[in-house]
Amino acid sequence: MLSHLPKEKSKMKHLVPALILLLNTPLLVFSQQGPGGVGATDGTSTLKYWVDANRGFTSTPTISWADQSGKGVTNTAGGIPILTPAFLNGQNFVTFNRNDGADIFTTNMSLNAGTFPQVDVFTVYYTDGSASTGGIWGEDDGGWDRFILNDPGVGCANGISIGGGCTPVPGAFPANLPVISSVFINQPGTNLSSVQINGATALIYTALHAGGSRNFGLGSIDAVGGFGLNGKIAEVIVFGSNRNAAERIIVNNYLSAKYNIVLSANDIYKQDDAVNDNFDFNVAGIGRIDASNFSNSARGTGILAISNPAGLDDNEFLLWGNDNGSSLATNTTDIPIGVQARFNKVWRVSEKNMANVTVDVGAIDMRWDLGNFSPVVASDLRLLVDTDNDNSFADETPIAGATLISAGIYQFAAVTAIEDSRRFTIGTANSLQTALPVNLAAFRATTVNNESVLLTWQTATEINNDRFDVERSRDNNWELVAKVKGVTNSNQVINYTTTDPNPYPGISYYRLKQVDIDGSFKYSAIEKINIDETPPAFQVYPNPADQHLFIRGKITSAKELQVYDQSGKNLSHLIGKSVYSRSQGLRIDVSRLPTGLYFIKSGQGSSRFVKK
């Protein structure tokens, strides 16, 4: 039996007679799983592009940033964009430094006005507000196509391209403050386009964009890095159509909660405030402004979907988020009679209008994706609602009646107990029969120097666990790579690692088979690996480095290299003796460099390394 790692190590022994293992399995799609529950991530909606610094950014073996929209948009890095972990509200940002070789991500997507006359772009970014900050996103072939830019030297200070020119957007580039910019382009049509800054309308304009032939980029306004950015980007969401007014409000509230950015207008979700205990995570919502502007079914990035509000009237919204607690039913103290355990994770709801007055959207259907939890018996599930808002579930009456809707999807229908500010969670009436551990999450396979594959995984609790079999395949014929003995029984977090020193060239696949003492077993999700069959043009190792750094590729002399620190200062003079061999490449002495992050460049490429 397998489960998700709790935020903090549980102080209680799990009641589950099995292994709780972290491996990553996909969730069954239901309702809208886009940002805030707007749009779908299966490629069927107008959600065209979505990058989030907390998901899909990697720096090895190359820098990449995976699109989360389901459209399969590619992002090609130029320069060395750097991930800055936990920069704001615990969320990651990506740092762009145009002095570091035009840091940029170029996509294979175009927002050509002829193909996409209506476009919505939501962005969270941070700059120092100085002149010539550069471009946040855009595409420009020299004809003032679609972009947002701060560069007075080219006549676009703190502005948005309107086509044939640029119009300033008040508040678009505040100094040393994060901002949510929401750009709504609707063309043709007089004054149908607008820009919101932190949810409030800052500009209404007429879009007059021509065709444009360049692809969309981040950290610039064109695909070659022109007007590069000095700043940070956390999240970019692009819809290839105009979403309705209610959906725009929901997306802005999702971003506001996630990054702790106060909205200047329509700040409806209040459970992200510190006074309400910061329910900042997986925020999603439904709402209605009028008969043409509404959303009545949403899930977002969490496991909870809410739909079919019985009394959703004009100017009413229901938004929810969680406290990022662990998805483990190990809380056995704060539970009512009839419940044996509940999730540590707790959700909370805002049910308000745009004036922040409490409303009632009526009974709702609540669907929980428990496809990663096994086994589950629907009659064991209980919905727990803190109806008196005293931050305790022990004094509440559990709600039964869950039904299995489809594989892994369980519904509580026509729930009336959810009201503004109330907390809620899921529990089980039988923790042996329905233990609610998360199945298979966190198995990882990564390439090392394009030569070997590092395999890592983690367990939170092990009961009767015999071993792990690491398997690989090129064509669905699986073979054993390694056997790793389990701890058997443990309530501690255990980290495992092994290496495949001789992986297949090209694309291959890895999976983990967990085997209990009785011979029963389960498989993890499958990890895809690509070992480049051509020698790299430029590659550095080890990373971090201590005394020496090796460079593989076409570099044979240290004279071909330049080394810079994070401020852009050239420290190449501190590089010591170098030795070249065909087997190891170029070995250079970096012992004189102070501890820190460095960028190394040559005519063959660039990379970064950490000096210990």
Q: Does 452 lie in the same domain as 377?
A: no
> Cβ of 41: how many Cβ atoms within 10 Å?
20
pLDDT on residue 4: 32
The CA-CA-CA angle for residues 64, 68, 69, to 5°, reads 130
pLDDT on residue 131: 80
CA 162 to CA 151: how far, in whole Å? Answer: 15
Query: Which CATH number is 556's domain given?
Result: 2.60.40
CA 512 to CA 482: how far, in whole Å? Answer: 10
pLDDT on residue 223: 65
List, as own/partner pairs, every contact residues 472-478 make where C-beta atoms lie below 8 angstroms and the sequence separation is at least 24, other chains included.
Answer: 472/500, 472/503, 472/504, 472/508, 472/509, 472/510, 472/511, 473/508, 473/509, 473/511, 474/504, 474/506, 474/507, 474/508, 474/509, 478/511
pLDDT on residue 537: 63
Strands 364-369 and 605-611 turn out to be: unpaired
pLDDT on residue 351: 98
pTM of the full predicted structure? 0.72
pLDDT on residue 1: 35
Q: Establish if 41 belongs to a structural domain.
A: no
Contact 270, 159 (CB under 8 A): no
Q: Does 235 lie in the same domain as 104?
A: yes
* pLDDT tens by residue, 325-373: 877 788 889 999 999 999 989 999 999 999 999 999 999 999 999 987 7
DSSP code of residue 191: T
Q: Establish if 270 belongs to a structural domain.
A: yes
Strands 562-565 and 578-581 turn out to be: unpaired
CA 438 to CA 327: how far, in whole Å? Answer: 7
Which segments of the chain have a pLDDT < 70? 1-31, 60, 99-101, 211-213, 223-226, 437-442, 460-463, 476, 490-493, 533-537, 582-583
Q: Does 225 lie in the same domain as 110?
A: yes
| Amino acid present at 354 | M
* pLDDT tens by residue, 100-136: 557 899 999 998 888 899 999 999 999 988 888 999 9
Q: Does 506 lie in the same domain as 379?
A: no
Residues 6+ apart with CB under 8 A from 309: 286, 296, 318, 361, 362, 363, 364
Q: Establish if 42 belongs to a structural domain.
A: no
Q: Does 462 lie in the same domain as 603?
A: no
Q: Does 420 lie in the same domain as 296?
A: yes
Among 390, 453, 463, 519, residue whose Cα is nearest residue 61: 453
Where do we find the tokens 């946040």?
Answer: 136
Q: Classify the C-alpha dihedral 374-375-376-380 as positive or negative.
A: negative
Q: Does 403 lie in the same domain as 507?
A: no
pLDDT on residue 463: 64
Could you check whether the bond before residue 61 is cis, i.e. omega within 30 degrees of 0?
yes
Among 415, 377, 375, 419, residue whose Cα is nearest residue 398: 415
Q: Does 420 lie in the same domain as 288?
A: yes
Q: Which domain holds residue 498?
A: 444-531
DSSP letters, 475-522, are: SS--EEEEEEE--SSBSS-EEEEEEESSPPSEEEEEEEEEEETTS-EE
Q: Does 393 lie in the same domain as 465?
A: no
Q: Establish if 542 belongs to a structural domain.
A: yes
**Domain tally, the chain:** 4
Q: Does 354 lie in the same domain as 300?
A: yes
Residues 6+ apart with CB under 8 A from 447: 60, 61, 453, 454, 503, 529, 530, 531
Q: Establish if 34 belongs to a structural domain.
A: no
| Amino acid present at 316 | E
pLDDT on residue 518: 78
Q: Establish if 435 belongs to a structural domain.
A: no
Q: Strands (DSSP E) along 139-244, which ranges?
A: 147-151, 156-161, 166-168, 177-186, 193-197, 200-205, 217-218, 230-239
Q: Establish if 268 belongs to a structural domain.
A: yes
End residue of a domain, out of 398, 428, 458: 428
> Cβ of 26: how many Cβ atoms within 10 Å?
8
Q: Does 321 lie in the same domain as 261?
A: yes
Query: Which CATH number is 60's domain given?
Result: 2.60.120.200
Q: Establish if 3 belongs to a structural domain.
A: no
End residue of a domain, out of 499, 531, 563: 531
End residue of a domain, out of 404, 428, 452: 428
Residue 315 backbone class (left: φ over 0; alpha: ψ -120 to 50; beta: rest): left
CA 150 to CA 483: how far, in whole Å? Answer: 56
Q: Does 87 lie in the same domain as 138?
A: yes
